[in-house]
Amino acid sequence: MPSLEDELFPSTPGKFKVDRAHNMNRQFHRCFASTSTMFLWALFLIALTASYLSFQSFVDSGSRYFSASWGGIQWEKQVRNSAQIHRSGGMSVLVTGAAGFVGTHVSLALKKGGDGVVGLDNFNNYYDPSLKKARKSLLNSHGILVVEGDLNDAKLLAKLFDVVAFTHVMHLAAQAGVRYAMENPNSYVHSNIAGLVTLLEICKSANPQPAVVWASSSSVYGLNEKVPFSEADRTDQPASLYAATKKAGEEITHTYNHIYGLSITGLRFFTVYGPWGRPDMAYFSFTRNILQGKPITIYRGKNRVDLARDFTYIDDIVKGCLGSLDTSGKSTGSGGKKKGNAPYRIFNLGNTSPVKVPELVNILERHLKVKAKRNIVDMPGNGDVPFTHANISLAQREFGYKPSTDLQTGLKKFVRWYLSYYGYNNRKGLQ
């Protein structure tokens, strides 16, 4: 079959008939008509495709709008109501990780004191999300809104700051746990480093800039053997990835303080425990297993030395958090530009009275009235350290921090909450 080019321009010259011009003219008309038709069909198909894509985009946008957990006039109203300040000179605080253990207690204390509070939490499944949902319900009952969203969602953070001019940020959201870092290291980088940077980027660009108080960890002391641990001690020998991400957070926050004038306070928590605590913590899992008649695993260090921790009751940690917020000072930047030096502080928040883990178990046995089935093993190389001991003199000097709850009293309160929350009763001989 001859090509279009062959039909228009024959390859054998000198053999044209008299009606050559007429034939060529007819061919041109036929070709033009065919080409025009094809062109029109192409335009039609392009228009149809564009219409479909536009409609699909509209559907997707609508779907995202209706399925999103934030946004809209009603949502903005809830955010503003939750952030409303009810005392003279009060704060409007964004609490990240608000449905977490420490976040719940800090949010309740702020609200009780007349400050405005808006929570943010992603409700991940590192441990049972139902406990986080229960904490959220508790916060809601006190007029505290907890927005469900990820710390790395810059659009959500920007929207929150657009709706409310937060004076302070209490940053408690993090991927917790020393041992879990060996299973899922990326989650620590995502939450503890990338999430922190995302938050600081929003804070540095806010106008006015908020003061930032955030949770570091006693784990940054790592392999340090000098006791008690002081803020002036070396922290460049982390023993776990979790510790390394918290140490990285301290360096990152220092950078944002230096370049952008953000007021930054880092808090090194020492083994926090109490009601509404984290199920992955030893005291919590010990309680569960003792009540269920299951053996508990107690680790010991080198040369059969018992592990010891500076157990700090949640109410004492809350005191430290509120004291840090109250004395944080102001950020000095505006629109991402530094106008002067701003405070940069790091404090230990501990109990200053380390207790050996076997003694912790003894106390739980007395409160539960059940003997534990102990399985004592050598501590594996999983990033845990043999002991922690806080020097809290700096926090005492700066804002009067003074822990007041010993382990015996604190565990009694925890056990009472645990039995109530999980439905145990006195008929089992438990109080």
Q: What share of the chain is helix, strand, coil (3-state, %, to 5)?
A: 50, 15, 35
Helix (H) or strand (E) holding 34: helix 20-67
Which pair of tokens denotes residue 143? 């007029």
Instruction: Check whether 337 has a pLDDT greater than 80.
Output: yes
Cα angle for residues 410, 414, 415 (degrees, 5° grid): 120
- How confident is the model over 209-259, as pLDDT tens digits? 999 999 999 999 998 888 899 999 999 999 999 999 999 999 999 999 999
CA distance 406 to 420: 22
Contact call for residues 254 and 342 (beta carbons, < 8 A): no
Query: How confident is the model at residue 51, as a pLDDT?
Result: 45
Task: Report the percent of the chain where pLDDT is more than 70.
Answer: 81
Query: How confident is the model at residue 225, as a pLDDT?
Result: 85
Nearest in space to 275 (alpha carbons), one of 123, 135, 125 = 135
Buried b (16+ CB within 10 A) or exposed e, 96-128: bbbbbbbbbbbbbbbbeeebbbbbbbbbeebbe
Instruction: Establish how many alpha carbons lie within 13 A of residue 121's alpha carbon, considering only the half-sphere containing its beta carbon.
Output: 27
Domain boundaries defined on the chain:
72-271+314-349+388-404
Query: How confident is the model at residue 2, as a pLDDT?
Result: 43
Any idea which residues carry the catalytic annotation?
A: 242
Instruction: Check whether 298 has a pLDDT greater than 80.
Output: yes
Query: How confident is the model at residue 230, as a pLDDT?
Result: 96
Query: How confident is the model at residue 160, as a pLDDT?
Result: 98
Contact call for residues 367 and 327 (beta carbons, < 8 A): no
Contact call for residues 73 and 139 (beta carbons, < 8 A): no
- How confident is the model over 410-424, as pLDDT tens digits? 999 999 999 999 998
Nearest in space to 255 (alpha carbons), one of 190, 204, 189 = 204
Which pair of tokens denotes residue 145? 């809104």
Query: How confident is the model at residue 178, as a pLDDT?
Result: 85
- Please count the residues of the chain: 431
Better pLDDT: 425 or 92: 92
CATH, domain 72-271+314-349+388-404, list 3.60.21.10, 3.30.930.10, 3.40.50.12780, 3.40.50.720: 3.40.50.720
Q: What pLDDT band is residue 381 in, cutting at 50, 70 and 90?
A: low
Mean pLDDT, range 350-362, rounded to an integer: 96
Average pLDDT of the chain, as a whole number:
86
Instruction: Check whether 429 has a pLDDT greater than 80.
Output: no
CA distance 311 to 270: 6
Instruction: Check whether 64 has a pLDDT greater than 50.
Output: no
Better pLDDT: 31 or 220: 220
Contact call for residues 261 and 331 (beta carbons, < 8 A): yes
Instruction: Check whether 40 has a pLDDT greater than 60.
Output: no
Query: How confident is the model at residue 369, as a pLDDT?
Result: 95
Query: How confident is the model at residue 425, as a pLDDT?
Result: 61
Q: What is the 3-state secondary structure of 196-247?
A: HHHHHHHHHHCCCCCEEEEECCHHHHCCCCCCCECCCCCCCCCCCHHHHHHH
